[in-house]
Amino acid sequence: MLPLLLAVALATPAGSEAEVPVNVLVITVDALRPDRMALYGYDRPTTPYLDQIADELFLFDRAFATGAWTSPGIASIFTGLHPPAHGQGSRYDYIDERLYTPLDALRRSGRVAIARSVEDPTIRGLGFTKAYLPLLDDSSKVIEWLITQPEGWVMWMHLKPTHLPYDPSPFHERRFGGHKLDTPSIRAIRKHGTVYPEDYGLPWDPPVIASFTLEEQKVVRDLYDGTVADADAELGRIIERLRQSGHLGRTLLVISADHGEELFEHGWVGHASTGYRGKVYDELIRVPLLVRMPDGSLSGRTDALVSHIDVMPTVFEALSLDQAEVDGGMQGVSLLPLMRGDVQGVHDRVFARTTFKGWTCPFEESRDGATAVRTNFRKLIRLRRGDQITHEAYDLATDPAEQNDLFEKDRDRFADLVEALERYDRENTDHAAQLMFTVAERRIEELQRAARDQDAVAAARIWTAWVELERTYANEWVVAMEQPRFAGRWARLRRTAERLRERASQ
């Protein structure tokens, strides 16, 4: 029996020339917090459009990103893997194009994978093959272009109204009170994508330094609320144009965010790439997750724990695709059973990891960072700075704002979560090694051909990719190639690759 999605979407007989493939549209809104959305219970009317179509949507109340800045979160959405497994945790990381990803499998099923760019460092190697540049900054133009494309696309759109600088449209600025102050700090928030406190400690002079009074902090939050309303309006324009053009009824729609945003809950404003330091408190890792089926069925909501790693498994089940086709499979679970009311098999905990400085993180600090494991009512955060490791622990039932660290006074209560993080390290290291060896063996086959053909240029290109693969995974907390159970095999593969590169250059 076909999954419900396909049974609804394909109204013509199988094999008919009129049969229309199901499209997939994933929209992420950069730094969008669900608790600032009326759709999620916020007491300000920030999402009138989404409220209006709520009965077409399935809402996940406890959805979490896998990181606190863009690259790891987006990579997890499109690979179904945690950051230590896919390796996209630092600005210096790249997913190797020889890895067979979920998007590659979707393309093999006959779909075209479209994004804002195919070479953007955030998404290079994920499997996108068609770009909608130069329409990047105008979502209305992007949608007008998209509806002219042949059906059967898988597309990622990334909207940025809620990313710093917070500069809402004049209507929403006044509606939510962002116009009430005009100070140097407020002007910095309205103008700059990164605002640093005086003690940030960058290796270069930060371009903008600010401090905020309590009154200014309130206006910053008002400005942010205005940008949420702008994002809602932009989503409305996109979705209603798809509806008007007839595409919405043939499209699986997923709306989320790459990460959340701090609004002074823990000392500053922004996220890992734009704020004081990378953190994994809930305001930074909890994200909206909305799914709309092509016919608007399966609407509802759940407070079950879900993760970005569940998005691609959900898409695969909806399209009757086999995860086994993907190198290493996926670590998430399909959410379709949960949407149908089956709570079996959902997560009992979710994980997130971030470097302390996100995109601005220097290479030498890329192994440092914060890792969190969260259950429904407890949370453990592990912080690593060089050889120093510390922990924070929170009772979310009594302290949802994560202000009262219990780790030192109640270690035993969180011992199982310490063990869960250690298991997270081991399992992701094993997964990373599996992917590394898969790519390395394919690269060696390419080097063998280059050596046979005496093609030094091709060998140099392949070797550059090899070095990028090593560097990507060397940035992780636990490095697969350095583990005793993997180091010997990796060293042998590397020696083989070096010999073939030299032979191609002779």
Q: What is the pLDDT of residues 348-381, one digit of tens each?
A: 999 999 999 898 888 888 899 999 999 999 999 9
Q: Which of 77-81, 116-120, 486-490 has the least mean pLDDT?
A: 116-120
- Using alpha carbons, select from 149, 148, 222 the residue that is nearest to residue 181: 222
Give the pairing of strands 112-115 and 23-29. Answer: unpaired
Using the predicted structure, report yes or no on whether residue 3 has a pLDDT greater than 50: no
User: pLDDT digits over 384-431, tens only?
Assistant: 999 999 999 999 999 999 999 999 999 999 999 999 999 999 999 999
Question: Which residues does residue 383 pair with via DSSP β-bridges, in sequence order?
Answer: 370, 390
Name the percent of the chain lying above pLDDT 70: 93
pLDDT of residue 11: 34
Is residue 489 in a domain? yes
Using the predicted structure, report yes or no on whether residue 16 has a pLDDT greater than 70: no
Same domain membership, residue 154 and residue 70? yes
Count of CA atoms in the C-beta half-sphere (13 A) of 221: 17
- Using alpha carbons, select from 214, 213, 216 the residue that is nearest to residue 181: 216
Same domain membership, residue 467 and residue 411? no
Same domain membership, residue 121 and residue 59? yes
pLDDT of residue 485: 94
User: In which band, very low, low, confident or very high, does the pLDDT at 1 lie, cut at 50, 70 and 90?
Assistant: very low
Using the predicted structure, report yes or no on whether residue 7 has a pLDDT greater than 70: no
Domain end marker among 416, 432, 459: 416
Is residue 494 in a domain? yes
Q: Any idea what the CATH number is for the domain that residue 121 is in?
A: 3.40.720.10
pLDDT of residue 109: 87
Same domain membership, residue 61 and residue 156? yes
Is residue 142 in a domain? yes
User: pLDDT digits over 464-501, tens only?
Assistant: 999 999 999 999 888 999 999 999 999 999 999 999 99
Same domain membership, residue 104 and residue 250? yes
Phi then psi for residue 408, to 5 deg, are -65, -35
Is residue 389 in a domain? yes
CA angle 246–161–264, rounded 5-degree value: 140
Mean pLDDT of 187-193: 91
User: In which band, very low, low, confident or very high, does the pLDDT at 198 lie, cut at 50, 70 and 90?
Assistant: low
Is residue 99 in a domain? yes
Determine how many CB atoms are found less than 10 A away from the CB of residue 74: 28
Same domain membership, residue 371 and residue 307? no
End-to-end CA distance of the chain: 58
Residue type, 69: W
User: pLDDT digits over 272-307, tens only?
Assistant: 988 778 899 999 999 999 999 998 888 999 999 999
Task: Look at the chain and report how many structural domains it folds into.
Answer: 3
Tell me which of 248 and 1 has the higher pLDDT.
248
Using the predicted structure, report yes or no on whether residue 191 has a pLDDT greater than 70: yes
pLDDT of residue 297: 87
User: In which band, very low, low, confident or very high, does the pLDDT at 18 lie, cut at 50, 70 and 90?
Assistant: very low
pLDDT of residue 79: 97
Q: How far apart are CA 66 and CA 82, in angstroms?
A: 6
pLDDT of residue 133: 76
Same domain membership, residue 298 and residue 434? no
Same domain membership, residue 322 and residue 432? no
Question: Which residues does residue 235 pair with via DSSP β-bridges, in sequence order?
Answer: none
Domain end marker among 291, 321, 344: 344
Q: What is the largest CA-CA distance in the chain?
A: 70
pLDDT of residue 206: 54
Is residue 438 in a domain? yes
Q: What is the mean pLDDT of the chain?
A: 91
Domain end marker among 344, 360, 388: 344
Q: Any idea what the CATH number is for the domain that residue 372 is in?
A: 3.30.1120
Mean pLDDT of 128-136: 82
Using the predicted structure, report yes or no on whether residue 450 has a pLDDT greater than 50: yes
Is residue 240 in a domain? yes
Mean pLDDT of 436-445: 97
Mean pLDDT of 93-115: 93
Same domain membership, residue 155 and residue 31? yes
Q: How far apart are CA 467 and CA 385, in angstroms?
A: 25
Same domain membership, residue 403 and residue 498? no
Strand residues in 286-377 grouped as ranges (E): 286-287, 289-292, 300-307, 350-354, 369-374
pLDDT of residue 204: 53
Same domain membership, residue 262 and residue 117? yes
Give the pairing of strands 58-64 and 286-287. Answer: antiparallel
372: domain range? Answer: 352-416
Same domain membership, residue 141 and residue 269? yes
User: pLDDT digits over 230-255, tens only?
Assistant: 999 999 999 999 999 999 999 999 99
Question: Mean pLDDT highest for which of 63-77, 264-278, 471-485?
Answer: 63-77
pLDDT of residue 205: 56
Is residue 172 in a domain? no
